[in-house]
C-alpha cells in the first residue's frame, strides 16, 4: 500500500474514532509477513514509542553543533537568544512561532545541576518550559505559574542529591537531557525588540559549580558529520530501522523510560530493544525492517483522524493533551512530528487546520476569510495569533515578511465591531492589508496559537468557545 506521509497528513482532519496503539492496523490490510506480522506491529509500536527521544536527540545535535552561540544555534549549556522572529529559511524545528523571542538551551544534568536565573520580567508575558528527553514538560516557570519577579532554579538529574545555595529552588528532570525552550512575548517593533533583548541578556545559565562567580563557557568542537541542512524531522524519518533502534537504545541508557512505561517496554525485548542494553538487530526480521519507519510514521499522522483526544471543530483540529502525555505514545509522537516543544494546554493550545469550510485542502490560488464576531475573539490571558505554514509546517516567504497575524497588527474592525482576516496570496488592498495573512501559491496549513487560554467559559479548554471556520471568499 503506497500511503505517503503527506497523504496521511492531508487526510487527517475528518472522522474521530477510537484510539489506541493498534487502532490503525486494519488500514493496511494483511501484510505478507506470515506468523511474523505481530512482531512487525510490535516493532512499529517501539518505533512510535521512541520517536520523541530520537527526535529530541537529533534536534539537540543540530542546534548545538557550533563553536559558540550564533543565530538559532549554541553549544550545549549555552543560551540561544533569538533577537528577531525566525524567517522562512528556518528549518531546525517544525511549526516555529513569530510571536515570541526564543531563549533556549540544551544541557545535560548527569554530572551536575545547572542554574537558571530569570530576571524581573516587569509584568511581560513569558514562560520557560523545560522538556525532558521524552518531550514531557516537567516544569514551566512563567507569568501564569510563578509570576514575573526575578527567580533562580537549579535543574538537577533524577538521582542527584546535594545542598543548593540559599534562594535557589530545585527542579528535578526525569532524564539526563533537558531542553529549556523559553519564550518571551514581543510585539516585533524596534522598541520592543530592544526591551526584550535586555531581558534576554539578564537570563543566565551556568553549571552549579560556577554559580556565584565569573563564568566563561568553553568553546565547543564542531562535528562535521552532522547534517546541518536537512530538516530534523526528515533526518529522523529517513533512518532505517536498525539505525533508528540502535540510536534509541543508546539514548535510553541515560534517559530511562518512566515507571509507567514498563509494561510496554518489556514487550519490545522481543524485537531486540531492552533498556540499558545495545540494540540486538538479530531479533529484528530483515524482511520487514524496511517497512517499519514508513508505516510507523503513517500511524503517527493518522492520529489526526482516529485519536479521540484530537478534536475536530469547523475544520480545526486540536488537542488539550500536550506537554504531559503519560502512556499515550501516539499522541506524544504526533505532537513531536508537527510541533516539537509544545506546551501544556494551560499555557498554550494550537488548533491546526488543513482544510477550509468546504472540506477542500487550502490552496493559495483561492482567497479565504476568517470572521470573528464582536466579542468572540480567541479568549486568552496571554495572546493569540494565526500563523501560516507550508505543507511541511515551515514559514512561507512573502513580500511583507508576515508569518502570523494577531491584534498587534492593529487589525481593522468592521462597522459592527467584528474582524475579518484575509488569507490569500496577493494583497487584499491597502485598506485591508493590516488584516492580511499572506499565503503561498500552493497548499498551506494554518495554526491558531492561544497562549494562556482562559480557563473560565468561554474557553477552548472545555469546548465552550468555538473556533470559526475558514471560508472561501
Provide the grid cell at 288. 520487514
Indicate the domain borders of the chain. Answer: 66-210, 329-472
pLDDT of 95 = 85
Tell me the sheet residues that pair with 94.
Answer: none
- Work out the number of other CB atoms within 10 angstroms of the CB of residue 148: 16
Question: Looking at residue 142, what DSSP letter applies?
Answer: B
C-alpha distances in angstroms, 346 versus 124, 208, 391? 18, 31, 27
pTM of the model: 0.87
DSSP string, 49-62: HHHHHHHHHHHHHH
Residue 375, phi-psi category: left (phi > 0), alpha (psi -120 to 50), beta (remainder): left
Q: Give the DSSP H or E segment for 311.
A: strand 311-313
Other CB atoms closer than 10 Å to residue 279's CB: what's the count? Answer: 22
* Burial annotation 125-134 (CB, 10 A radius, 16+ → b, else e): bbbbbbbbbb
Give the C-alpha separation, 373 to 462, whole Å.
20
**Can you tell me the distance from the alpha carbon of 35 to that of 263, in angstroms, rounded to the nearest whole number?**
23
CATH topology of domain 66-210: Immunoglobulin-like (2.60.40)
Judge contact between 405 and 412, C-beta under 8 A: no
Residues in the chain: 473
* Contact (CB, 8 A) for 356 and 362: yes
* Same topology between domain 66-210 and domain 329-472: no
- String of b and e for 155-173 (b: at least 16 CB within 10 Å)? bbbeebeeebeeebeebeb
pLDDT of 193 reads 96
Q: Which residues contact 163 (CB under 8 A, 6 or more apart)?
A: none
Q: What is the pLDDT along the chain (473 residues), one digit of tens a residue?
A: 222 332 223 223 222 222 233 334 444 545 566 677 889 999 999 999 999 999 999 999 999 999 999 988 999 999 999 999 989 998 777 788 899 999 999 999 999 999 999 999 999 999 999 999 999 999 999 999 999 999 999 999 999 999 999 999 999 999 999 999 999 999 999 999 999 999 999 999 999 999 999 999 999 999 999 999 998 999 999 999 999 999 999 999 999 999 999 999 999 999 999 999 999 999 999 888 889 999 999 999 998 788 889 999 999 999 999 999 999 999 999 999 988 999 999 999 999 999 998 999 999 999 999 999 999 999 999 999 999 999 988 999 999 999 999 999 999 999 999 999 999 999 999 999 999 999 999 999 999 999 999 999 999 999 999 999 999 99
CATH says 329-472 is which class? mainly beta
User: Which pLDDT score, from 0 to 100, does residue 23 have?
Assistant: 39
Asked whether the bond before 309 is cis by omega within 30 degrees of 0, the reply is no
Distance CA 449, CA 93 (A): 16
The distance of Cα 330 from the centroid of its chain, to the nearest Å, equals: 14
What is residue 87's DSSP assignment? -
Amino acid at each position: 500500500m503506497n500511503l505517503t506521509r503527506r497523504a496521511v497528513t492531508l487526510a487527517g482532519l475528518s472522522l474521530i474514532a477510537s484510539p489506541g496503539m493498534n487502532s490503525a492496523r486494519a488500514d493496511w490490510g494483511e501484510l505478507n509477513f506470515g506468523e511474523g506480522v505481530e512482531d512487525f506491529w510490535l516493532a512499529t509500536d517501539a518505533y512510535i514509542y521512541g520517536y520523541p527521544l530520537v527526535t529530541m536527540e537529533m534536534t539537540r545535535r543540530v542546534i548545538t553543533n557550533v563553536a559558540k552561540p550564533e543565530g538559532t544555534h549554541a553549544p550545549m549549556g549555552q543560551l540561544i537568544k533569538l533577537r528577531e522572529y525566525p524567517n522562512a529559511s528556518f528549518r531546525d524545528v517544525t511549526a516555529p512561532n513569530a510571536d515570541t523571542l526564543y531563549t533556549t538551551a540544551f544541557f545535560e544534568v548527569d554530572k551536575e545541576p545547572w542554574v537558571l536565573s530569570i530576571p524581573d520580567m516587569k509584568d511581560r508575558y513569558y514562560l520557560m518550559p523545560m522538556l525532558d528527553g521524552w518531550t514531557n514538560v516537567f516544569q514551566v516557570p512563567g507569568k501564569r505559574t510563578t509570576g514575573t519577579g526575578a527567580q533562580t532554579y537549579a535543574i538537577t538529574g533524577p538521582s542527584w542529591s546535594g545542598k543548593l545555595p540559599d534562594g535557589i529552588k530545585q527542579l528535578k528532570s526525569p532524564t539526563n537531557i533537558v531542553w529549556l525552550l523559553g519564550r518571551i512575548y514581543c510585539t516585533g517593533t524596534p522598541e520592543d525588540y530592544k526591551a526584550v533583548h535586555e531581558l534576554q541578556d539578564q537570563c543566565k545559565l551556568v553549571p552549579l559549580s560556577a554559580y556565584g562567580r565569573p563564568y566563561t563557557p568553553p568553546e565547543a568542537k564542531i562535528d562535521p558529520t552532522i547534517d546541518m541542512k536537512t530538516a530534523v524531522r526528515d533526518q529522523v524519518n529517513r533512518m532505517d530501522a536498525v539505525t533508528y533502534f540502535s540510536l534509541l537504545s543508546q539514548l535510553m541508557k541515560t534517559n530511562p523510560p518512566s515507571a509507567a512505561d514498563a509494561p510496554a517496554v518489556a514487550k519490545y525485548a522481543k524485537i531486540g530493544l531492552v533498556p540499558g542494553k545495545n540494540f540486538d538487530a538479530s531479533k529484528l526480521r530483515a524482511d520487514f525492517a524496511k517497512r517499519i519507519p514508513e508505516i510507523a510514521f503513517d500511524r503517527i499522522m493518522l492520529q489526526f483522524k482516529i485519536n479521540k483526544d484530537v478534536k475536530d471543530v469547523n475544520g480545526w483540529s486540536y488537542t488539550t493533551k500536550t506537554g504531559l502525555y503519560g502512556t499515550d505514545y501516539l499522541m506524544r509522537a504526533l505532537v513531536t512530528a508537527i510541533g516539537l516543544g509544545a506546551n501544556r494546554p494551560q499555557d498554550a493550545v494550537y488548533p491546526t487546520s488543513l482544510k477550509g469550510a468546504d472540506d477542500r485542502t487550502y490552496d493559495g490560488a483561492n482567497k479565504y476569510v476568517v470572521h470573528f464576531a464582536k466579542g468572540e475573539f480567541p479568549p486568552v490571558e496571554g495572546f493569540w495569533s494565526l500563523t501560516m505554514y507550508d505543507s511541511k509546517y515551515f514559514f512561507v516567504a512573502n513580500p511583507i515578511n508576515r508569518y502570523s497575524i494577531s491584534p498587534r497588527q492593529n487589525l481593522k474592525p468592521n462597522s459592527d465591531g467584528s474582524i475579518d482576516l484575509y488569507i490569500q496570496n496577493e494583497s487584499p488592498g491597502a485598506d485591508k492589508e493590516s488584516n492580511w495573512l499572506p499565503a503561498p501559491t500552493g497548499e498551506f496549513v494554518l495554526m491558531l496559537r492561544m497562549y494562556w487560554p482562559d480557563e473560565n467559559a468561554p474557553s477552548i479548554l472545555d469546548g465552550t468557545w468555538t473556533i470559526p471556520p475558514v471560508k472561501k471568499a
